[in-house]
């Protein structure tokens, strides 16, 4: 069985001082926790400062996104090598906001997954359905499509290094709670299909 993993995605929140303070507090509390891998994923502009705040602790650094190309004229993007240079261990890919607000496709995410793996970053691949998809009984089809598209060409050996985050989009801001039994039913049904 894999070790439990907890990662905090800070999204577009905090400023430099509060990001460092939060990272330091998490690193301090993490000293008392055993048997769990942990990571923090701050906004990219704070990766360096937060990385220094958690350095030497059991808390790893992760990025919220990356681009699939190694370098070039891609204004505003970050490459896997840049993230490695900032001491990132993880990178979140396929987050629902990237998929549903910014229009990232499974094919785009797949390129990022391969680029991350090639750079020895651990992808945290997010999958999950919208409320309308869940209510229409499409949960399994949506997750299957996301798996098949986002993980195309990924080997079994590479799969062993990935983190899959089931992120039920229907539970974000809807007032509906993603209880462990609801998540378990979705994941168990997917595993049987």
* Cβ density class 45-73: b for 16+ within 10 Å, e for less: ebbeebbebbeebebbbbbbbbbbeeeee
**Which position among 95, 104, 114, 129 bears the catalytic label?**
95
Q: How far is it, in rounded angstroms, from Cα 193 to Cα 113?
A: 24
Q: How far is it, in rounded angstroms, from Cα 125 to Cα 162?
A: 7
69 among known catalytic residues: no
Q: How many angstroms separate the Cα of 179 from the Cα of each of 86, 143, 163, 175, 185?
A: 35, 18, 20, 12, 10
157 among known catalytic residues: no
**Which position among 68, 104, 114, 167 bears the catalytic label?**
167
Known catalytic residues? 95, 167
């Amino acid at each position: 069985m894999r070790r439990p993993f907890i990662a905090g995605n800070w999204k577009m929140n905090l400023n430099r001082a509060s990001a460092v303070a939060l990272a330091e507090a998490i690193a301090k509390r993490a000293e008392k926790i055993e048997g769990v891998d942990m990571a923090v994923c701050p906004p990219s502009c704070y990766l360096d400062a937060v990385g220094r705040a958690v350095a030497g602790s059991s808390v790893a650094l992760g990025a919220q996104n990356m681009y699939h190309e190694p370098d070039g004229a891609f204004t505003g993007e970050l490459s896997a090598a840049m993230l490695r240079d900032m001491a990132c261990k993880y990178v979140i890919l396929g987050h629902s906001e990237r998929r549903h607000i910014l229009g990232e496709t499974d094919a785009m995410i797949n390129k990022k997954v391969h680029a991350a793996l090639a750079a020895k970053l651990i992808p945290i691949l997010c999958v999950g359905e919208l409320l309308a998809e869940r209510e229409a009984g499409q949960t399994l089809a949506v997750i299957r499509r996301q798996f098949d598209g986002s993980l195309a060409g990924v080997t079994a050996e590479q799969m062993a290094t990935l983190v899959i985050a089931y992120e039920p989009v229907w539970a974000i801001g809807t007032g509906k709670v993603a209880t462990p039994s609801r998540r378990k039913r979705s994941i168990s049904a997917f595993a049987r299909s």
